[in-house]
Amino acid sequence: MLKVQTRKEKKEQTRLKLVDSGMSMFAERGFLSTTMTEIASNVSVAHGTVFLHFPKREDLIVAVLDEFGTRLADAFEEASRKKESLRGVLEAHLSVLKTYEAFYARIVREEAHLPSKLQSLFLMLHAGVSQKIYLASEKELEKGNIRKFPRHLLFNTWISLVHYYISHKELFSPQGSVIEEKGSEILNHFMNLVRK
């Protein structure tokens, strides 16, 4: 039996298509260069349809970042569920970032040019990762495996390394995924910094 979609379901489906289109187009072209018309055209809807769902451009970007944050958090939770060691949590983080590397890299490169509300959303994405890293580091600290670091410096050191490599992809991995090619190097370097 065929299920007939309700108007509400169709509307939600269109909204999700626009969010997915925004995510892929922002990754490819950037937040500053991608137009609402291009996003609409990418999913074959009228330009005005975008504005029915997202009255302002910033509303679409917020929706895209929210969806990205949800996907990232869910994937990170799944990947790190059984990994309690600091190294395991960091490996999980890298594996999730690799899945969304193009979009994440775009955020990293353009963050300073985004409105402060969007910058705040990006910082909130890091909060969950920071918590997992901190909890794993506390267990490692109890075992005497790592040196004591202030919580913020532990995360900031990790994310700075990741962002440096992602921001300089052309230098480290011009043809492919920088996380795939340099993830082990990033992870090993960080572990050498914190290990006793």
- The answer to whether residues 98 and 178 touch, using CB atoms and an 8 Å cutoff, is no
pLDDT per position as a tens digit, 56-89: 988 999 999 888 888 888 888 887 777 778 999 9
- Is 49 domain-assigned? no
CATH, residue 183: 1.10.357.10
pLDDT per position as a tens digit, 107-128: 999 989 888 888 888 888 888 8
- Is 71 domain-assigned? yes
- Is 36 domain-assigned? no
Which domain, by its residues, includes 116?
Answer: 57-194
Cα gap 136→146, rounded to integer Å: 11
Full-model pTM: 0.85
pLDDT on residue 91: 92
- Is 81 domain-assigned? yes
- Is 44 domain-assigned? no
- Residue 183's Cβ-count burial label (10 Å; 0-12, 13-18, 19+) is buried
How many domains does the chain fold into? Answer: 1
- Is 51 domain-assigned? no
